[in-house]
Amino acid sequence: MKKIAISLSLGLLFLNLSAQEKKVDSINVETLDEVLIESIRVKEDAPISHSNMSKEEILKRNLGQDIPILLNYLPSVVTTTDAGAGVGYTYIRVRGSDASRVNITINGIPYNDAESQGTFWVNMPDFASSVESLQLQRGVGTSTNGSGAFGASLNILSDAVSKEAYGDVNASFGSFNTQKYNVKFSTGLLNEHFEISGRLSKITSDGYIDRATSDLKSYFLQGAYVNDNTLIKALVFGGKEKTYQAWYGVDAETLESDRTFNPAGVYTDDEGNIKFYDNEIDNYSQDHYQLHWNQRYNNNWSTNLGLNYTYGRGYFEQYKEDQDFEFYNFTLIKIGGEIINETDLIRRRWLDNDFYVVNANINYKKEQIDFTAGAFYSYYNGDHYGEVIWAEYASDSEIRDRYYEGNGTKNEFTIFSKTTYYHNDKWSVYGDFQGRFIRYKTLGLTSDKVPLAVDENFNFFNPKVGLTYKINANNQLYTSYGRANREPRRSDFENGVTKAEKLDDFELGWRFSTKKSKINTNIYYMNYNDQLVLTGAIDDVGAPIRTTSGKSFRLGIEIDANIFILDNLRIFPNIDFSSNKNKDFVTSKDGELVNLGTTNISFSPSIVAGNRLEYEPLKNLQLALLTKYVGEQYMGNIDGKTSKLDAYFINDFNVVYSLKNIPFVKEIIITGLVNNIFNVGYVSNGYYYTYEDTWTNPNTITTVEGAGYYPQATINFLLGFTIKF
């Protein structure tokens, strides 16, 4: 409560700084809103490969599925979900890089977990309903806050200030008992300066996979003050999720015979019956408190100050059989002359963390110069611990005794400056220089009760330069170079990885634009040193394990377009052809270290393509066919046959119908979405592992491969209604 009070006090202090009492128009409000993310976004003519997505585009398919699923049709994007239907734990990869290497910010504040570097969208269900716009930058992109972008950066702007009052009621339902309900409101500008807006949401789903249930709740509340040159926003948003675990996947045989089977929670009772524990769940809450002060002093100078506090806490619960007393610090017991040293039990493994951010930047614009400089500081403190809440034989333990404890702290300080210089109407030059200074420290034990003592400092310098040339009104060429460095995450240190990874990113692009069409073509070469690639294996909580690959690269060409075939018919195709290779990859095989030479980087398909075909037969009716093709990919880095995921091609159908001029309401919007309309039984993700077999032949060490798969939903539907007041 003290932290909330401090934030509110700061907000009141900033409100007292306002002076002018002039009328605010919607254009001015929108401009001030955009200052929140101006320092990390790029403009249309920047030498950075990027895609923008507006609130209107998001709402067309926003029926309860998570943000990664809504981004599925952007260039070079591959998405997947544990439960199989886009609700619950969802993931995104861009140019083959997983979400832990995609830098994500909300209003300029990092959303990636500071310690694991992961992005857990399930903690903010239905946040898409509070998004004003987003920009996905591929490659290194421009300097941003938080960990470096090694595949892409995604920056999100939450709801802008609304000049007009409104109220929305939304409900949707669909396959697998999926349901979503939310209400939104805004007071509009009161007394021409103040606005309060908010949202409450609830999403539930049984999931495509057995027992992969989701029970998700979220909220968003915003208070704003605005005048001609000032915008102050205080935001509180967050969510609570309960999801039944579904990260175990299935083996190849089960995939063929029972693709929705979920082994999570399985145990054998005293009579030898196979059962499933009913509370094998993940239970986590996360709350975000943000305060933003944007000030425009004149036509040239503006500043932005952002403060953030994020509080996360929760656990996942497991039923475990035949657990050793010693591991849980239980004392041996004797019953009727028999020594008991094992027990069935239920345990919870907790994460309790705090994340603080101060972010400030200044912008100067005048004719040929657009200059921004800023500083960022964050502090993270995370407690990791495990407790037993029930045991068949509890020995002398007490409920919730902790059997392991650990702590991680992370301090980060970042400074940057970036400039775009417009030499004339044709030439512009972009320069961007960032310094990141990090200290990461851990104490205590891991969940495996292994001591983890890390005390590392990382100092990174990340320069970026670019050049844009406008051939004429329709054609534009650009080129850029960017450097990025990224520190290992907690699980990397647990696995003995201590080296930071480095990336040199070279981009060359051509943009063509007319009233009827836009075509973007981009060639990229991403050269890595000590890239932290996924091994394909997962740990005991389903998190992917990484390894240092030495030298590696990604070489590709991206093409995306927006073409009006007719006034009411247009297509949005995109395709990415790429070669993603490890050089001189070394692995253990049959008991020896072997250099395999050039191998494919894990989870990096050479072809990713998508298309959106939109047709408006009537002014208030829009039909869309969405297609996605993902080529075959390897789940490991040794090109093992077992590690190969087959290519897949899926199609969704989307319809949006709007009813206006209705008594008592402004508008009713009916939205329908049929996913996977051709009922394809596909797999978008999995895991791969190897182990050395010495049992079959004691005189020979043989490397054995294994794999698990995450099947995705066959044909399914969602139908939603939005009433606007």
Domain containing residue 313: CATH number: 2.40.170.20
Query: What percent of the chain lies above the pLDDT cut of 90?
Result: 84
pLDDT at res. 13: 35
Q: Which of 50, 41, 101 is nearest to 502 (CA)?
A: 101
pLDDT at res. 30: 59
Picking from 39-48, 87-96, 599-608, 613-622, which range would have the lowest pLDDT averaged per residue? 39-48
- Higher-confidence residue of 269 and 577: namely 577
Q: Is the pLDDT of residue 149 over 90?
A: no
- CA distance linking residue 659 with residue 577, whole number of Å: 42
pLDDT at res. 103: 93
Q: How many domains does the chain fold into?
A: 1
CB 100 within 8 A of CB 134: no
Q: Is the pLDDT of residue 215 over 90?
A: yes
Which two three-digit tokens encode residue 512?
């063509």
pLDDT at res. 23: 41
- CA distance linking residue 347 with residue 351, whole number of Å: 13
- CA distance linking residue 287 with residue 301, whole number of Å: 33
Q: Is the pLDDT of residue 252 over 80?
A: yes
CB 199 within 8 A of CB 92: no
State pLDDT tens for residues 549-560: 999 999 999 999
What are the φ/ψ torsions at residue 663 (nearest 5 degrees)? -55, 135
State pLDDT tens for residues 446-474: 999 999 999 999 999 999 999 999 999 99
- CA distance linking residue 72 with residue 574, whole number of Å: 12
pLDDT at res. 336: 83
Q: Which of 611, 578, 487, 546 is nearest to 139 (CA)?
A: 578
The overall average pLDDT reported for the chain is 92
- CA distance linking residue 184 with residue 132, whole number of Å: 14
Cut 0.75: pTM above it: yes
Which two three-digit tokens encode residue 409?
């702290």
CB 476 within 8 A of CB 44: no
Q: Is the pLDDT of residue 148 over 90?
A: no
pLDDT at res. 2: 38
Q: Is the pLDDT of residue 194 over 60?
A: yes
Domain residues for the domain of 680 are 2-724
Q: Is the pLDDT of residue 1 over 50?
A: no
What are the φ/ψ torsions at residue 33 (nearest 5 degrees)? -60, -40
Question: Which band of pLDDT confidence, cut at 50, 70 and 90, is reported for residue 539?
Answer: confident
- CA distance linking residue 570 with residue 56, whole number of Å: 16
State pLDDT tens for residues 648-697: 999 999 999 999 988 889 999 999 999 999 999 999 999 999 888 777 67
Query: What H or E segment, with its residue span, contains residue 483?
Result: strand 475-486
CB 491 within 8 A of CB 456: no
Query: What percent of the chain lies above the pLDDT cut of 70?
Result: 96
Which two three-digit tokens encode residue 620?
């208030």
pLDDT at res. 438: 97
CB 330 within 8 A of CB 395: yes
Which two three-digit tokens encode residue 117?
């570097």
The conformation of residue 208, written as its DSSP 8-state character, comes to S
Written as one letter, the residue type at 416 is: F
pLDDT at res. 400: 85
